[in-house]
Amino acid sequence: MYLLILGLMALHLLVLPIYLYLTWHHNYWRKRGLVTVKPLTLLGTYPGLLTRKSNLVHDVQRAYDKYKGKHRAVGVFMTREPQILVLDPQLAHEVLVSNFRSYRDTLTSSYIRHAKWDKYAKRNPFWASGETWKRLRSEAQVGISARRLAQAYAIWEEGGKKLNEYMANQVLEHNNILETRDLCFRYTAHVMADFIWGIDAGTLTRPLENPNKIQQMASKWTSYAFYMLSIFMASVIAPFTRLLLRFRFYPKETDDFFSNLTKRSIDLRLKTGEDGSRNDYLSHLLQLREQKQASHDDLVGHALTVMLDGYDTTGTALLHALYYLAESPTAQQKLRTEVQQSLNDDKSLSFEQLCALPYLEQVVYESLRLSSLIPQYTKICTNPTHIQLNEFKRLEVEEGMTIMIPNYQFHHDKQYFPDPETFRPERFENGVYDELVQKGIFLPFSDGPRICMGMRLALLTLKSALLYIVSDYQIVTSKEKIVPSGDSGFGITLQGDIFLEFRRFMR
């Protein structure tokens, strides 16, 4: 009996410090007068982060539904770490735009401190912080300015024609049924590789080479980076482990592949002396080398920023747009009519004409709203500030505190978008886009100085693909109902292979 009591006491002594460690912060928000979403001891507010049984979007939704409309923000816990969850879109606008100087860095930019040897990740503005972020962003974004994209527009025109030839063969071979995720990634990889390295990746011309090397490497990077991100987020429960594990977000194999590709492309460009005529991203990289003495690794880093941040996002966005159009024949026909009426006699459309098609733009925005591919943004307070919670109460925000903007929830809130699960591009008519962004309600590319750097490039790629596909094909859903769902990751998106039917119009 005596031994049992001693044993129980020893167990308590052992468990108590762990319990205290996990719950120490749980009074953090109460002490500061912020309403707290009750956390679980080990799991915090978002259990799915550790258990992998629920998706972060669903976990955030519970807190959002309970407190939205009553409070501008609530206190939550990422396992044991306090965090602010924004509930008022106007506060989101404050964080991203009007008070940007207090929230300059993103959560991902704090991760890279633990992966200093990840030489290309640390050259990507997405992962960078402070002055380094500013420099990297200003160096890279000149290469994808509206002017440069307009000058390089032939890449998307030729890519669109290749896409149609590729599809014409594929629909014959596969009885009109195409695995659409693969199709979207082939087009995205084609235009990206042509723009960044000036090469034909072969994704639309050499379909037998399956899977294509560039696609294979970009996909490998995506799954590796997402996996590492999820591990890194879960390690918030014991941040000291980050010091022990040699984290990296870019696998070595893809680093080597893209480094070689960049080297060979530059050699080829210098040999053919084509630089003056092609105003693409490679010519921008060569200018950086000449004017700013950028090293080989700097150039690879900038090339990978465009390829890796743009490939999966744009390809997945295109897949969702085609899926929603297949599900909505009326919207699809309306888009087709607009496109066909605008095409010139030789079936071409200038860059300016493409950018000015109103319904095409509305279709893209509505697809981005419904899919909300990056469902939440987490910023870091880099300069002590405060949040006015209501007329009488303000919350002091300390440096280092993280704050999450739940844009998926805004995008699916019936207060802002009536009948939110229905695909209705008309919601964006009459130029309402700017107003919704300004109000912090619609943020598919985020907003403010850290708005998606590749927004224009993504829009161009999406619009051009839709133009070429919709004008030549009727897109039809498969018999089995496909529904976007949450995996154990971050978003609620289409999972696995997506088979859609493409019926070619006879001419």
- Among residues 46, 103, 120, 126, the one that binds ligand HEM under rule CB under 6 A: 126
Taking contact as CB under 6 A, which single stretch among the options 79-87, 260-268, 440-448, 485-493 is the one that binds ligand HEM? 440-448
Non-local CB neighbours of 359 within 8 Å, separated by 6+ positions: 334, 335, 338, 425
**Residue closer to ligand HEM, measured from CB, 48 or 444:** 444
Residue 374 CB, shortest distance to ligand HEM, in Å, is 4
Non-local CB neighbours of 155 within 8 Å, separated by 6+ positions: 191, 194, 195, 280
**Residue closer to ligand HEM, measured from CB, 75 or 125:** 125
- Among residues 49, 306, 326, 404, the one that binds ligand HEM under rule CB under 6 A: 306
Burial class (CB within 10 angstroms; exposed 0-12, middle 13-18, buried 19+) of 130: exposed
Q: Verify binding: residue 453, ligand HEM, rule CB under 6 A.
A: yes
**Residue closer to ligand HEM, measured from CB, 202 or 375:** 375
Residue spans of alpha helices (H) in 328-454: 329-342, 351-355, 358-371, 407-411, 432-438
Angstrom distance (rounded) from CA 372 to CA 310? 15
- Among residues 44, 125, 440, 489, the one that binds ligand HEM under rule CB under 6 A: 125
| One character per residue 51-90, x = contact with ligand HEM (rule: CB under 6 A) | ----------------------------------------
Taking contact as CB under 6 A, which single stretch among the options 78-86, 227-235, 373-381, 388-396 is the one that binds ligand HEM? 373-381
**Residue closer to ligand HEM, measured from CB, 35 or 81:** 81
Token representation of residue 266: 């530059």
Residue 240 CB, shortest distance to ligand HEM, in Å, is 25
Buried b (16+ CB within 10 A) or exposed e, 402-417: bbbbbbbbbbbbeebb
Residue 378 CB, shortest distance to ligand HEM, in Å, is 7
The candidate with the shortest Cα–Cα distance to 484, out of 41, 58, 45, 12, is 58
| One character per residue 90-109, x = contact with ligand HEM (rule: CB under 6 A) | ----------------x---
Angstrom distance (rounded) from CA 87 to CA 75? 11
Taking contact as CB under 6 A, which single stretch among the options 282-290, 354-362, 444-452, 497-505 is the one that binds ligand HEM? 444-452
> Coil, strand, or helix at residue 58?
helix
User: Rounded to a whole number, what is the largest CA-CA distance in the chain?
Assistant: 96
Q: Verify binding: residue 445, ligand HEM, rule CB under 6 A.
A: yes
Token representation of residue 64: 């959002």
- Among residues 129, 254, 262, 314, the one that binds ligand HEM under rule CB under 6 A: 314
Single-letter code of the amino acid located at 77: F
- Among residues 67, 250, 377, 473, the one that binds ligand HEM under rule CB under 6 A: 377
- Among residues 89, 198, 440, 454, the one that binds ligand HEM under rule CB under 6 A: 454
- Among residues 79, 215, 313, 328, the one that binds ligand HEM under rule CB under 6 A: 313
> Coil, strand, or helix at residue 162?
helix
Beta strands in 457-498 (DSSP E): 473-476, 485-486, 492-493
Q: Verify binding: residue 305, ligand HEM, rule CB under 6 A.
A: yes
Q: Verify binding: residue 457, ligand HEM, rule CB under 6 A.
A: yes
Q: Verify binding: residue 281, ligand HEM, rule CB under 6 A.
A: no
Buried b (16+ CB within 10 A) or exposed e, 310-339: bbbbbbbbbbbbbbbbbbbeebbebbbebb
Single-letter code of the amino acid located at 135: R
Residue 459 CB, shortest distance to ligand HEM, in Å, is 8
Residue 503 CB, shortest distance to ligand HEM, in Å, is 26
Q: How far is CA 150 from the centre of its chain?
A: 23
Cβ neighbour number for residue 210 with a 10 Å cutoff: 10
Q: Verify binding: residue 450, ligand HEM, rule CB under 6 A.
A: yes
Non-local CB neighbours of 432 within 8 Å, separated by 6+ positions: none
Taking contact as CB under 6 A, which single stretch among the options 17-25, 265-273, 438-446, 477-485 is the one that binds ligand HEM? 438-446
Q: Verify binding: residue 452, ligand HEM, rule CB under 6 A.
A: yes
**Residue closer to ligand HEM, measured from CB, 74 or 318:** 318
**Residue closer to ligand HEM, measured from CB, 29 or 365:** 365
Q: Verify binding: residue 137, ligand HEM, rule CB under 6 A.
A: yes
Contact criterion met (CB below 8 Å) for 460 and 281: no
Residues engaged in binding ligand HEM (CB under 6 A): 106, 125-126, 137, 144, 305-306, 309-310, 313-314, 317, 368, 373-374, 377, 444-446, 450, 452-454, 457-458
